[in-house]
Amino acid sequence: MPRQPPPWRGARIAIDEKNAALTSGQGDIIANTVGKLDGGGYFYSNQQPKGEWAFTKIFNRGTLLWDKDFFCPGDSVEQSMHVHYSEESYDYGAPRRLLVGYSAYTLEPVLASIDPEVFYISEDMNGEHLAGLRLETISEGFLEDSEVILHHSITVPGNLRALKLLLLEKDWSKAFHGGDLTVEGAKILADQSSRSLYDGRAPVTLARIKPATTTQVPNHKKPHIKRSIIPDQPYGPENRQLHEVLPRAKNHVLFDNPLGFVYKAPYMSNMRYPERLYHELAIFAKAHPSDKFNATAMLFAVQLWIDIEEHPNKMIEESSNEPLPSVSLAVFIVYFEHWLKIHEHLQCLNFIHPFRLIHLLYWNDILVPCHNRGASYVKEDAIDSQRLHWYVLDAEARDAEVSVRERADLYPFMMSGTKMVYPQDTPKKLRLSETQQAMVGEYLTCGFLVYRHTPAKPAK
């Protein structure tokens, strides 16, 4: 018997004042909106739900990215990036170190300071690279350039140079000349940057020019970089040309021969897995009632874990100087969504290898001293990794012209729904068409809205 087309094929959205409904081609209502603008619907104006609702508690995993106490404002210069005063400088508000990105091993914040031994010899002040800087984390010590994942905003042309200039000459006016910030605004932003690492908010960088938004520059099309953000408006500080506000990544991401981890995602919309796989994943999800799962994300997780396990070197990074930890399939599924979403939270230019971050997050959640410590353990016997391995190998392509082995190379700024715009020098082959994006599917809707540094305990 032929399969019936889904009811939403040919459907349309009908809007009636503040209500909306999804209707079929025959006018039948398939679904109504859950809420209304400005209150009403299923919620009162004070955002309290109407009627009988079922509540649950979700385990707050993956929020212990680093020890925030290391970044307490007022600590010694050796333990903090807070704005410390320099005795040699005429400007006593100039910092000695600034946030530029994260460790490729742990995602711990990387603080940059001037390396006095090499800066004057080898550094070109106009260079948009990390040469001449000491790159340091609190727990790991000094890192090489290739061991740092830069913050997306740092790669906007002129931003890295401005930080070098400020760290070297302590001259705020010179460092931020021609940018978006006044001297006073830059000092305020520097203070916000240091406090963001302690307060647990999304880290803030001291950016001379803010990057363009994905609203201004849609990611699937290569823009004409000589045009202004708003083409029909005069050029100025509020309407720069795109080459001034789009990141430039070639000094930090070797697209043709990447040194870091690249997420090779399947075209999920083209994959048809055995029904037994879905059944196994449903059983696993039921075994973890205090965890939030997205069915599609679970498929992405299983596929990536198997791809890594089948790879000859488990996709270890070319630039890595550290061994890769092992991660079970059960733990990988539970933390996969958080691995994805954390890169957006931190605005990472590259991905950290998922085995590194997931191993770290899981053990941080287990070891945190809290009264419900046992709840953080993943039930590893709730899934049979070998059996799922065979199920995945049985996957078939819906469209035979696209192999189930075909993958799309993804970076964090390519995720659907991201706020990070593509770098202006992104190769054409990496710019997913709208069709390719649809075939890969939605995956950034997973995880939590924010990843504040809070104890890992069930939260309402």
Asked whether the beta carbons of 235 and 332 are under 8 A apart, the reply is no
| Res 448: pLDDT | 53
Asked whether the beta carbons of 148 and 131 are under 8 A apart, the reply is no
With a CB cutoff of 8 Å and minimum separation 6, the contacts of 21 are: 13, 14, 29, 30, 31, 32, 33
3-state secondary structure 270-297: HEECCHHHHHHHHHHHHCCCCCCCCHHH
| Res 195: pLDDT | 87
User: From CA 357, how far away is CA 339, in angstroms rounded?
Assistant: 7
Name the CA radius of gyration of the chain, rounded: 24
pLDDT tier, 444 (very low <50, low <70, confident <90, very high otherwise): low
133-137 vs 109-114, strand pairing mode: antiparallel
Give the residue-averaged pLDDT of 355-384: 83
Structure-token pair, residue 328? 């079970």
User: From CA 64, how far away is CA 452, in angstroms rounded?
Assistant: 8
| Res 338: pLDDT | 92
Residues facing 264 on adjacent strands: 409
Identify the residue with better confidence: 57 or 104.
Answer: 104
For the chain, give the mean pLDDT: 82
Identify the residue with better confidence: 34 or 228.
Answer: 228
Identify the residue with better confidence: 175 or 121.
Answer: 175
Asked whether the beta carbons of 202 and 94 are under 8 A apart, the reply is no
| Res 437: pLDDT | 80
The residue type at 321:
N
Q: What is the pLDDT of residues 236-284, one digit of tens each?
A: 888 899 999 999 998 888 888 888 999 999 999 889 999 999 999 999 9
| Res 44: pLDDT | 58
Asked whether the beta carbons of 186 and 172 are under 8 A apart, the reply is yes
Identify the residue with better confidence: 309 or 132.
Answer: 309
Identify the residue with better confidence: 306 or 371.
Answer: 306
Would the pLDDT of 116 be above 80? no
pLDDT tier, 438 (very low <50, low <70, confident <90, very high otherwise): confident
Strand, helix or coil for residue 301: helix
CB atoms within 10 A of CB 248: 18
pLDDT tier, 191 (very low <50, low <70, confident <90, very high otherwise): confident
| Res 325: pLDDT | 97
Would the pLDDT of 154 be above 60? yes
pLDDT tier, 450 (very low <50, low <70, confident <90, very high otherwise): low
Residues facing 110 on adjacent strands: 101
Phi, psi at 412, each rounded to 5°: -55, -35
User: From CA 214, how far away is CA 375, in angstroms rounded?
Assistant: 39
Strand, helix or coil for residue 370: coil
pLDDT tier, 359 (very low <50, low <70, confident <90, very high otherwise): very high
| Res 370: pLDDT | 56
pLDDT tier, 304 (very low <50, low <70, confident <90, very high otherwise): very high
Asked whether the beta carbons of 333 and 287 are under 8 A apart, the reply is no
**% of the chain with per-residue pLDDT over 70:** 75
Which stretch of DSSP H or E encloses residue 184? helix 183-199
Give the residue-averaged pLDDT of 311-335: 95
| Res 61: pLDDT | 86
- What is the chain's length? 460
| Res 118: pLDDT | 64
Strand, helix or coil for residue 41: strand
Would the pLDDT of 321 be above 70? yes
User: From CA 320, how far away is CA 105, in angstroms rounded?
Assistant: 8
Highest mean pLDDT among 34-43, 113-122, 163-172: 163-172
Asked whether the beta carbons of 337 and 446 are under 8 A apart, the reply is yes
Identify the residue with better confidence: 390 or 15.
Answer: 390
Structure-token pair, residue 180? 């978006």
User: From CA 386, how far away is CA 291, in angstroms rounded?
Assistant: 23
Show me where the domains of the chain are located. Answer: 1-54, 263-459
Residue with tokens 């760290």: 167
Q: What is the pLDDT of residues 371-402, one digit of tens each?
A: 445 557 999 999 999 999 999 999 999 888 88
User: From CA 285, how far away is CA 280, in angstroms rounded?
Assistant: 9
Would the pLDDT of 18 be above 50? yes
CA distances from 436 to 8, 82, 275, 344 (A): 21, 44, 25, 21
Q: Is the dihedral of CA 330, 275, 339, 454 positive or negative?
A: negative
Of 40, 160, 64, 59, residue with least CA distance to 374 = 59
Structure-token pair, residue 297? 């994300």
